[in-house]
Each structure stands twice: as C-alpha cells, then as structure tokens.
Structure 1
C-alpha cells in the first residue's frame, strides 16, 4: 500500500466509482474494479486483490440494495433465500476452482455469453415488459430460481466469477418474470449475501488491504447509490442497453484472456 503512487490510487478510486454504478444497474462491475487492482498491484498475491475487491464491492452493493428496496417492488424474502443458496453454491464452486483449467472453461463461458447476447437482442421485449400473471409467482418457479439463480450461478461465482451479476439478472427475468429493474434490485440483495460470505473467508485469511479498501469503498458507495437511482429513474429500457454493453464487454475480456493468456 505504501509503494503505490497517487495517480494509481486515483485510478483505483475512479474504477471503484464506475464499478459501483455498473454493478448497481445490471451487474458486472468487477470487470473494471478487479483489473484495476491488478494494474495497481501487479506483484501482489491474487488473494489480496480478491479480498480487497470484495471488501470494496460489498459497500456499493449494500447501498444499491437499500436504495432499490425503498423504491422498487422487491420480494426481500425470496431474494434472501436465493442469496443463501448462492452463498452455498459459491463456497462449493470455490472448493472445485483449483482443479479447473481456465483455458478450457473460458471458451465455454464465451459461447454461453454469445447465446445470451443473441437471446436479448432477438427479443426486444425481454425484461422491459412483464407477462400478465394470474396470481403470485408459483412455488415451483421460486424453487427453480433458488436452484438455478442461487445454487447454480453461485457455484459459477465461486468457480470463475466474471459476469455473475449479469447472469443473475437474466435468470431472474426468465424464471420469475421480473422486469429488469426489479431483477437488478433482487440481484443486489443476492450479491450482498455472497459478498459477505466471501469477505468473511478473506478476512479470516488476512488477505484484505483495509486502508485501500476503505478509500475505494467510499467511491463504490457513491457509484452504487447513483447507479440504483439511475436505473429506477430511467427504467428497464435503459437497463437493457447497459446489459447488452456489459455482456459485450465480458465477451471481449474473456476472449482477450483466452488468446493472450
């Protein structure tokens, strides 16, 4: 921490601000924040970067979740149930992560993301209009969301990570017929659960740069609050545009890592 330049600190704070905004709108803020930490500390063990990233992210995610729940129709009980399942899934994924070859996994994720992108582009109404429901969401759909969006995507989060928030938004829209704003709001509550679990582990291991995390967290907090307010104000159509942009960025990032790694 003492060796980092003022310019690098400014870059990290800007990345935290931008990541908080993107993450609050549609997920994927780690695309900016984690690479920025890698640039700022190229020789630091990855565990410290991951721990610091989680310490920063949980602040912006919590701020976004609070902002959303005050103004968006969020089923907090369902969100927490999915979040607890995601927490279990992420711990399980992390257990298997050491034995997975990233060179094999990245192409598969790229293909999945391209499929998601094609689906969203070919269905202009996806997430911007909500199907007419004859009653409350069925228990079967809630259970499916807990298993797929919670346990399944949580497992992916622990195994690999990039785009977890984006995948959660898409899954919640598809399974529970949420609009994109409500899905983003629900995702933030799920993210709070998973981030908390991961942060407990990193804290116990002593792999968090707390001074840097505290500074970046202030900017991430501002970005998360602003992002949630922007999404609430601009609506699902705006969130859809950001969703497409984030998926494209994820594909580009993973492709770059695959071909240059």
Structure 2
C-alpha cells in the first residue's frame, strides 16, 4: 500500500499507547489497534500481521515490568510461553481452514460470561487460591488451546488466559495478569512468525505502534502493580463487555447477519 502520512502514523501511535495501557492491565488492546489500522486504510490481512508485530512490544514491555517487580519468574515460565507460541503457530497456519464465523459468533457471549464471573465473584483478589489443575496438565492443554485461538482469531485472548489462571491455576488476579502477558507475548510471537512468512507485516507502521505499545504498557503495568485487584478486576469486566459490544456492532457479525439486523 502507499506510504502512510505522518499524521496517520501519529494517530496510530496514540491508539497503540492507549491499547498498551489497557492491555497490560486487563487485555483487550486489539479492540483499539485493529479498528484504528482499518480506519487508517490498512487492508485486513496486513492489519492482522502488523497487529502481531506491535503487540509484541506491548506484551513484552508489560512482561518485563512485572518480572522486574517479581510477579513472574521468566526462567520458570518460559517453557509455558513456548507452548503458547507453538499453539499460536498452528492457529495462524490453520486460520483459513478453521470456521472463523463460528468463533466470531460465540466470542461475545464468552466475553460477557467472563465479565459476569469476575464481576460477581467477590473473593477474587490478589491472594493465591487452591490450584485445580497441575502445572503440567495446564501447560499441556489450556495454554496451547488459548495460544491456538490467538493465532486463529485473537480478540479476548488475555481475558481467556486471565480466567484460566484464576480459576484453574488458583492465581491471585495480579499474578494472573503478570503471567497472562508473558503467555500473550508467546502467542503473539508464534503468529507473528507465520505472518512474516506470508509477507503481510507493515514494518514502519508496526514499529511506530510498537513504540506506543511499549510506553503504554509500562504505564499500565505500574498502575496495575500499585492498585492490584482494585483496578484490574473492574477494568477486566469493562474491557470484556466493551469488546463484546464492539464485536456485535460489526454489521458482518454472523448473528446479526442471521437475524437480519
């Protein structure tokens, strides 16, 4: 596509900063960056590929911030991140085969369910609870499954990782957020490699937005570590509902097409 004007790049930088801030706390940054790139005239496939590049900066930045503060031990969790990347590779490769309309149709309801769960469950805080699934089983099943989803479709990946860490791994919400960003980095990296091979990454746009993501994620992770569950829990609820509404607002959404709205 033609070279993008400077003011459009600045708009994308600001969108990425806001996305990085929100994503580092509750996930859902893609609901800002993907529409912003489409609005800037970037074709859909290049939007997906470039989104993975700039998302690497946000998830990587947040991961570093949480690791420095001791909320995630990178040396211990790298195998889990690698499994997430592995699942994402297969998701991205099979994106043209997997029925995307089914995922798009079901996703808003899953996000609302996550919002209801976190909104109504009063005992979710920063303290770890009882683990319901072994580390090995969690790594072998849940992690690659969500990574696969991120490669195939993407929106809501952070919310799904958060839900899994809280309900199955027994993590407190701040610890779950820290680990979510590391696994999200892995899934972003796996899909990004596939999109590079397909030649659909706009490097200048991705790097400019990546700078915004990096700075936004640094600011957001500091807010999350300062306030813990008090900020993460409500923002997760709001983000999940907002993403569900954003998806349903799309006239091409399968349910709206089916209902004739």
Alignment of 1:136-147 (within 5 A): 140-147=133-140
Quick check: 2:92–2:151 contact (8 Å CA) kept in 1? yes
Change (3 A) 1:50 1:231: same
Give me the TM-score of the superposition, normalised by structure 1: 0.88
**Residue correspondence of structure 1 range 40-79 to structure 2 within 5 A:** 40-42=40-42, 44=43, 46-79=44-77
Q: 2:238 aligns with which of 214, 237, 245?
A: 245
Distance 1:69 1:237, change over 3 A: same
1:1-261 matched pairs, under 5 angstroms: 2-42=2-42, 44=43, 46-131=44-129, 140-257=133-250, 258=253, 259=256
Q: Tell me if structure 2 keeps the 8 A contact 1:86–1:149.
A: no
Q: CA deviation at 1:6?
A: 3.7
| Gaps in structure 2 of 5+ consecutive residues | none
The Cα shift of 1:103 comes to 3.3
Secondary structure class of the residue paired with 1:176: coil
Q: CA contact under 8 A between 1:84 and 1:150: conserved in structure 2?
A: no
Confirm or deny: 8 A CA contact 2:80 2:139 kept in the other structure.
Answer: yes
Matched residues, number: 254
Going from structure 1 to structure 2, the CA distance change for 1:216 and 1:154 (only over 3 Å counts) comes to: same
Specify whether residues 255 and 78 from structure 1 end up closer, same or farther in structure 2 by C-alpha distance, changes over 3 A only. farther
Whether the aligned pair in 2 keeps the contact of 1:72 and 1:182 (CA below 8 Å) is: no
CA RMSD of aligned residues (A): 2.2
1:25–1:41 distance in 2 versus 1, CA, 3 Å: same
Post-superposition, which runs of at least 4 consecutive aligned residues in structure 1 deviate over 6 A? none
- Unaligned regions of 5+ residues in structure 1, if any? none
- Relative to the length of structure 2, the TM-score reads 0.88
DSSP-derived class of the 1:173 partner? helix
The 3-state SS of whatever aligns with 2:54 is: helix
Distance 1:148 1:118 in 2: 24
- When structure 1 is superposed on structure 2, of 1-10 and 210-219 the one drifting more is 1-10
Superposition deviation, residue 110 in structure 1: 2.1
1:42-94 superposed Cα distances (whole Å, 9 cap, x missing partner): 5x3x3322222111111121111111001133243453222222222222223
Which whole-Å CA distance do the structure 1 matches of 2:141 and 2:227 have between them?
Answer: 28
